[in-house]
Every structure is written in C-alpha cells, then in structure tokens.
Structure 1
Amino acid sequence: MAGLGLSSREQAGCRGLLDLLSTDDLLALSDTVTNRLVVPESRKEAIHAILVYSQSVEELLKRRKVCREMIFKYLAQQGIPVPPSSEKHQLIHYAKQYWNQQLSDKPSEREDVKFDKKVDGQRQKQEEDDLQSLGKEFCQWFFNLLNAQHPLGRQSKESWGPQHFWEDAKLKFYYNTLEQSTEEYNGAELVSLRLLSLVKEEYLLFTPNFDAGGLKCAKSPHGLVIVAVAGTVHRGNICLGVFEQIFGLISWPVRENTWKIKFVNLKIFGQNALEPGTQIQKPSIKFESNQLQELYDGKELHLIETYKF
C-alpha cells in the first residue's frame, strides 16, 4: 500500500531515519500514528504502519519520538553537513530537500549555514576583544602597583604582596645585561619579594607597550589566561633596555572578576648588551596566540633571545 502523503523517496528516507529509533520507541510511535488500530509484531511492521498512516513528512518528523538529535544524526550519516545549532524545524527542512533532490540545487539552501558562520565569527571576535581588554586591564593594574613600590614612585592605595599570587606561584627570571643569568623562585612569598626588589632595591621602572603588538593574550579551555606583554625598562630618565613578560592567570572564585597570578616569566635585555648604535624600537610580542598556548603544557617560550631590534 502506498503512503497517503509521502512520495517514494520520502518513504525511503523516513524508513532509514526511523530505523534509528529503539524498538520500544518505534512501537510507541506506531500506536500514536495509527491510534492503536494496528498492532505490529516486528520493527519492520511498525515502520511500515508509521509510513502508511502519516499524512506528510512534517507530520511524521514533528512527532515527539522523532527528536532533533535523531534527525541530525541521520543527516550526518548521509553526509549532509548542517549547523550543529540548527533547530528541529530547520533539520526537517534539510531532510525534505535531501529526499526531493533539491538540497544541492537551491542557491538559498545554505543561508542558515552562512548565518551560523557569521554569528560564530562575531562571537569569536567578541571573545578575542574581551580577552584583550582583560589582558590590558590586568597589565595596567600590575605595573601601576609594582612601579608604585619605587622609593620615588607615587604611592598606591593597594598594597603589594603575596596575596596577588597563588600559593604555588612560580617565577622564571632571565636577564642579559652586563652578564647573563637565570633565576627561579617558587611560592607566592618569594615570587612577590623578588619582583618587589627589582623596583624597590634596583630602582627599575617598567613601561608596557600596549600598541604595535606589545600585548597578546590567549586562553585555555580550562580557564588559564595567558597574558604576554613587552615594554621598556627605565632607571630614572635612562632607558636601560626592553622586557618581555608572560603571566599565567587563574580566576579567584572567592571574589568576582578577580584574578591571581599562577606563574610569571620575565626576561630583560639590557641596552648595553646590544650592538653599539642600535636604537630600541617599540617592543612587541613576536609570538602568535597559538604559540602562547604551548604554555598550557608547561613548555617555555624563548622570547628575548629572538627579539629583533
């Protein structure tokens, strides 16, 4: 018996889709469609009854037992790419077009796909802008607070200390001035004191560059935010060289919109280590976000060594 409202191609397509249902769901759907007038004894008989008594593709696919995920899975098995965010009525439309051999012929067939790509692009751009704003806001706070610890600096209302770091914070400090050296410190107290000594005892001042690629940020799926910033180092009115600093930040759940420092990589390259007559240009981060993401796995980036003046 031919289906009352389904073409032969629609019947074949719906048969493949219904085959994804469990036997219990098939029997329940058959009872609903036939108003219990037919009692199928097998999956094959249940599918046949459903197809015979369905008036249209829309009527069948809108049934509760035919869920959105099942239609999406069927289309994926047929090699029909559709946006994962598609609603059920959109998936039904795609299925009808596929069964009627119209999916590849209509110029408007991918409007939803194009729209989703546009929305995804806008969302990604917004997330990148928000991340960059977070990085800039953090750096402004950090360097203003650190520079305020200079004996001649403008005092800050906020105090410097280990409270801004996680207990297991780490600092890797490399410098190339008159000599080369690498230092490592573990624990919030030691990390805080070493950074403080640069300003309070060695009289350094840090000026970050937020333009021309001087600030780049990245974020891991688990919430670790990487902030990389480049700038110049000063003592009084003298520019001593450049610095590049990478922070690993993790949100502090106790207070909203508050971040604590998980690790710091600081590298300073003194001007006296450069070739005579070399002019310092605006420092910038030479690495892209995907390279900064290597830090998620604990890999160290060699920044200053590749810095070009």
Structure 2
Amino acid sequence: MSIYNSALKTAAEDLLQALDDEDLVSLAKTATNNRITPETKKESIDAILLHTPNVKRLLSYRRITTQKLFQYLHKNKVSINGYASRSQLANTVEVLWGESDNHENGTQKKHKNESNVTEKVKVIVKSKSLGDEYETKTKLCKRSSLNPEESKSIRNLEETHSIENLQVQRSDDFSQEFCRWFYTMINRLQPECSNQLGDNFREQVFSGNSSVGLYFLCEPYKEMHGKGRIETFTLFKNVVCEYRFIFSPNLENGIGAEKSPHGMVKIFCCGTLHQGSAFIGIFEQEFGLVFSPADQAWLIMNTKVNFKHTLIQEIPTLPPYEIFAITAS
C-alpha cells in the first residue's frame, strides 16, 4: 500500500507543500523512475505519495532537506534540538506521525511525551590529528579483530567521552547512510538497477566548485579529471555509463570517516565492481563533504576513485576508524 492510500496522506501532503515546484517535480520523477513528468504542484504531490510505499522511504528523499524537516516540526510545535541531524529529524517526524490519531485540516497533534522525541546520543569524540594522505587511507587491508584489552579501552572511551542530550550523528552511521544512498543512486544509471528505489543522480549532489579524479590502475594506466559542478557530474556519469559499472560497497567493514578542523568530513569506501552479473574488479573511493548553509545539505566537494581490474573475488576492507560526532551547522 502506498502513502496515498494510507491514513498519513494528509500529514505527508502537509510536509510536501513546503517544497518548491522544482523539488517536487524531481521527487515525482524519482518516485516514478522518470516515467511521469507532472505539470502542477498537486500532480507532483499525488505522484510522490502514490508511488512511495512507506513513510521511511518518503523521508529518505534528499529533496526533503534538514531545513524542511526542522521547519515542519517547528510548525507542529515539536521541541527538538537545533543541531539535530537529518536522520534524527526524520525519525522524529516518524514518531510524530505514529502518535497522531488524526490529521485534520493539514495539522497534527503535538507528541504527548517530548522526552520520547529527544533521545540521548552517545558518541566517541575523535582526538587524533589528520595528516595521512589519500593513498595511505585507501590502501586495502583486512580488518583485524579487537583483543579484550582493546575492547575494554573502547568501552572506557565511550563512558568518558559521551555527549549527553546533544543531537548528533555517529560518524559510522553517517558514512554508512551516505554510501548506501550514493551507490544506490549511481547504480540506478544502469538498466538492470533502474527499478531500484533511490534518488536520481544529478548535478546538485556536488558543490559549485567540486572536483573529481578517476584513476584506472591497470594496463594501460589512465586518469581523468573534472572541475566544477557540471563537469564533475558529467564526467562521473559518463564513465559509469560507458563502462557499465555497478558498485557493491562493503558497508560492513569497508567504510571510514574523518573530520578536518574546519568541518569537512572525509568518507572512504571500498568494494567490488561489476558489469551486469560479472565481477570485474574492485574500487576505492574518497569523498570530501561540506555542509552547505544555503542548501541545508551535505554536498560532495571532491571525490577520487581508484578502479582496479582483478580476478580475485575477495571483498576489500579498510582498517577501523575512530568514531566521532557529526553535526550539521
């Protein structure tokens, strides 16, 4: 059953009304896999709700930004920390809708117990300096298991450096969520993955002055570069489509994150490469993410990708990374 035919239709319509026409058309195209191009705001909202199976999927659309979610909760008199992450705001909307008995006249009842909305989040604070180069950080190596003493040290860190009542997101959760979203979006460029649920790959995921570097570590060696939002987007899309790349990121132990003193978040990911059902090699990718106050969203400032042809079907991994707090500001 879709949201259109559920009791939450009015609430979802109220949320979507805050989006501009361009965002609604884009969401409608995403929800219908580009099979419908609506001409009015109502047609856009109807298409989104009719072809979106549940609330979790609706709130995962990136066009429904952190700012829009916060404004919606404020409108409905829900108290929430101003530094809450997008995923926490989305969870709060889910809780709000789950507790509402009815959605009359486009309004909702306030959550009865605000203590259930704002939860304590504990994170480990990152302390080491950042100086390692990209080549070092993307080197493939197997993740070693922790011995009892190391596990004890981590537990002590969690107890010592916990942040109480601060709405933040753990770096491991953030990086996993980002990679799942990004590679699903990229894979949808291929016909065999086009019916998967996910956003459409578009220029707006990159910052205005973004850059990309693509490195083919095989014979003959080749590298390609692009600068600026349009060139970065076009080059990445063209290469993925030309080589028919399908990415399978190692979301369990092939992801890491770091944060610079100035707020840029670096995400590292590795995994296997495929063409259709055929395994063709592995990839290593680095993202530099910046939070845009204008867009109220994380944008890709730069990215580098290593493509390696290999016949050894071993899933690449990365060493453990320290966990730290990520806040949108």
TM-score of the aligned structures, taking structure 2 as reference length: 0.46
Structure of greater relative contact order (alpha carbons < 8 Å, 6+ residues apart): 2
Q: Which has the higher helix share?
A: 1
TM-score of the aligned structures, taking structure 1 as reference length: 0.48
